[in-house]
Structure 1
């Protein structure tokens, strides 16, 4: 008699989509293994190896025995250094305002802590594709609100989207996928709205060291006690430490105490060795600067090449390491990316992965060598030329 196992999945699992960037990179890896030459413009991490100083320091600390559990909030030394970085000799945050956690899990902690099932979080489009899916994991409704044509925030639309169930607003700044750096006036207005409405303003500034034009507004300035403010950041992009999975969340002491309970009952603590690398990284000023200059040069290269391609339109990004062109073809972004992958071996991320406003766009990561960028954009130009003749 044949035995059959019936697996019953929760709505939580069924309602959550795969990460488009992870799944497309997996597809590229499969095609490469099959012998296809693929240029991967979908990658969301620096192409650099973690700086040697960070690696060596963590390795030595591991040999010294720092391979055990850490305090659930993270090592006090690391949290103190993070608070000093955020303070910038202006504010008075301390270790009690910080919890160290594995990068994206900081977003999970924030959503779990501020919203119950059926509550809402406003997410301006185009957005980091994990924001709405993380909300759905916890039964929270993501309320997607379009930005303006230049990707600046539309405060009127955001304000009109607030309901009695709204618990917060989340943005990435600099923005993924657009590279937009929101102005001081935009952020102050948005933060004031959150304070007035008694909801949380969540700013994910994981790309904070990669700002080429403008600056990131200090969000502690308007809310010194961080009673309505949550700052999320980490070491993945600025120090090429994606695999170390180390980041942090900053907010009021009361809020950090609350999310610490969640961390204790989920992951317990962030990895000890990664925390040691982060301690060293906060004294390493040169590596982020050097990487930033490489990315600045690549941004200019990619921007100048793409703007010369007929049928593509592009707003120059101000930060991060992405460009988000639109195209004039009458096909979906998923179909666009499928066609160019199949015909040219060029992997792009469809704009629809980043919200409805992303339709008609695609994302390019320029976290690749200049040679690969030139080769890939030449393939993009060839593809657009061929499509114009169909």
Structure 2
């Protein structure tokens, strides 16, 4: 009954784990969820007020498919000032979530049997989007002992390679790519005439590092498609609001897909996005400081249990090596059944994740401490 495109794609492992956790909750079992990548903070009030006021003022009709002009202008200004990108309102596409932007990019840039390079491990939805476009994901290795930075990338470039996907800060590892890593990727993209999809959704959730947009580097302005959004930095996951910045030729193709599928992002939600960019940024700083504290509690606790875990430089995930206790799939299943702790097996993120689990620390420090105690009781 399914098309060949759909048959190539597996169920999202993060959603599957979340559903299993919800089934246990329906039985009145207290489940500590470390599985979903969703900040547990409320959306800042000024953002909510802006969207509500827009709705009550009649902003409930169709929006321009590419986005409302004031939001596109604010995004372009943000990308120019913060990311040093050659951004203009005319090449900004506002989407219902960054994931939709990524899907549209894969569908518009990749052709049948093209190849796209992913750094292993990588976010769960890149691979399915590549496959639905008829292309093939190619996994290039990263080094866990060097904070999961990619290496030997050029060895995985073939005459079918069309794109390299960059995600910094990275889901699931929390790795942040320094300038020399990005320069290496940029050199390869230029030498082989490749596109780069730069997913920068976690750019503001970063610790003791500087975020660098690869699209700001020499020779990368026209070949980089930058994706970002509001879900993570502004705790707006349910609002579904993202955006892409691309060369005009690519932008036109993205717009073609959007206008024939989802039409546009929700009109009054876009007014909330405008308020997020132009309003006070203190809620972002406060959230990042709390994530930093949670990271330290979690990573120190995991290492004290004999679970090897790097200290993430960004995002809000720890990618922990559980090989001393079994595969990632085995440990994740045992933790959910025996400790009622939900984590995501690392295999969901690529071949190298077999012996890892991803733990999202988007929950309170008290729940993290309790989760560590539960994990300890099972592993001992």
TM-score range relative to shorter protein = over 0.9
Shift of 1:155: 3.7
Shift of 1:35: 2.1
Q: Relative to structure 1, is the Cα distance of residues 306 and 152 closer, same or farther in structure 2, using a 3 angstrom cutoff?
A: closer
Compare 139-148 and 324-333 and name the one that shifted more: 324-333
Equivalents in 1 of 2:46, 2:180: separation in Å?
Answer: 38
Equivalents in 2 of 1:36, 1:252: separation in Å?
Answer: 50
- Alignment correspondent of 1:4: none
Matching of residues 1-390 of structure 1 within 5 Å: 8-88=1-81, 90-102=84-96, 103-149=98-144, 150-156=146-152, 158-223=153-218, 226-284=221-279, 285-310=281-306, 312-329=307-324, 331-385=326-380
Q: Deviations over 1:109-163 (max 9, x none)?
A: 111111111111000111001110111112110111111233443342x211111
Shift of 1:231: 0.7
Equivalents in 1 of 2:213, 2:343: separation in Å?
Answer: 33
Q: Deviations over 1:230-275 (max 9, x none)?
A: 1111000000000000000112122212211111111111111211
Q: Relative to structure 1, is the Cα distance of residues 164 and 328 closer, same or farther in structure 2, using a 3 angstrom cutoff?
A: closer
Shift of 1:185: 0.7
> Contact between 1:68 and 1:272, CA under 8 Å: does it hold in 2?
yes
Compare 259-268 and 326-335 and name the one that shifted more: 326-335
- Alignment correspondent of 1:388: none
> Contact between 1:54 and 1:278, CA under 8 Å: does it hold in 2?
yes
Equivalents in 2 of 1:155, 1:345: separation in Å?
Answer: 37
Q: Deviations over 1:285-308 (max 9, x none)?
A: 122111111111111111221121
Q: Relative to structure 1, is the Cα distance of residues 180 and 115 closer, same or farther in structure 2, using a 3 angstrom cutoff?
A: same
Structure 2 counterpart SS, 1:363: strand
Shift of 1:105: 0.6
Q: Deviations over 1:24-82 (max 9, x none)?
A: 11110111101222111102100011111111110010111111111111011111111
Larger Rg belongs to: 1
Shift of 1:225: 7.2
| Unpaired segments ≥5 residues, structure 1 | 1-7, 386-390
Corresponding residue pairs, total: 376
Q: Relative to structure 1, is the Cα distance of residues 137 and 214 closer, same or farther in structure 2, using a 3 angstrom cutoff?
A: same
Runs of 4+ in structure 1 deviating by more than 4 angstroms, as ranges, are 89-92
Equivalents in 1 of 2:218, 2:262: separation in Å?
Answer: 29
Equivalents in 2 of 1:232, 1:61: separation in Å?
Answer: 25
Structure 2 counterpart SS, 1:9: coil
Structure 2 counterpart SS, 1:202: strand
Structure 2 counterpart SS, 1:217: coil
Equivalents in 1 of 2:304, 2:161: separation in Å?
Answer: 43
| Unpaired segments ≥5 residues, structure 2 | none
Equivalents in 1 of 2:215, 2:326: separation in Å?
Answer: 43
Equivalents in 1 of 2:151, 2:244: separation in Å?
Answer: 25
Compare 58-67 and 249-258 and name the one that shifted more: 249-258
